[in-house]
Amino acid sequence: MAALGGGPVTLVWENEVGGLTGRVGGDEPRFIKWNPLGSGESLADEAERLRWLGGRHPAPIVLDYAASDDAELLVTRALPGRSAVDAFWQARPSDAVQAIARGLRALHALPTGDCPFEWDVATRILTAADSDAVADLPDPPPIDRLVVCHGDSCAPNTLLDETGFVANVDFGRLGLADRWADLAVATMSLGWNYENYDEALFWAEYGVEPDAARIDYYRRLWNAA
């Protein structure tokens, strides 16, 4: 894989299914994601979505993708900024919360007509890991606004710099869905990552009043699926 180059790899993240993310420095910094096959996370899906997203919304640029019998590897060009959960931003929760909302608002403003991916309720239920939790879900609320959803809108997947929002990352589930599928998870993650934050800043920056019923449904679906 030519895009790997010869530099050392610094581990920066390990997810709950055994996937690893590393950074290669040098003149052209890159990020390398490695996943075991069968983990439930598809780097092929992410590469496809990133290529579609290119030029539409700030996101990593795919340099290379490869798969073997037991693993996948995705190489992207490094982006500026720091994760929204970096200690620098955890000490500035108001700035982080507003920038996260700004990034989602921009993503959700993309035209939906040419998005070939789905992240709707029916698709997610079909692939849910916890069938008992899914069985306990009520009928989904009517769609408020169909948008291009991130699919994993937790705070760590936003990059910020001193001017605010820079980009979003981790787009393996991007697809069309009700905007509340993203909004419910994004605001849930604020409580995991920040102390003394003001959630009202998120809603004000995004530009919508919280919808308790939709938030409850999509958080329950997230935990089940």
Write out the catalytic residue numbers. 152
Give, rounded to a whole angstrom, the gap between the first and last alpha carbons of the chain: 33
Q: Where are the alpha helices (DSSP H) in the chain?
A: 43-53, 87-90, 93-108, 121-126, 131-135, 179-193, 199-206, 212-224
* 3-class DSSP state of 123: helix
Distances from the Cα of 131 to the Cαs of 41, 44, 108, in angstroms? 18, 26, 29
Residue 176 near residue 161 (C-beta atoms within 8 A): no
Residue 135 near residue 168 (C-beta atoms within 8 A): no
Residue 51 near residue 74 (C-beta atoms within 8 A): no
Residue in the structure block whose two tokens are 């180059």:
5
Residue 141 near residue 214 (C-beta atoms within 8 A): yes
Structure tokens at 221: 């679906």
Structure tokens at 59: 């996101």
Distance between CA 58 and CA 180 in Å, rounded? 21
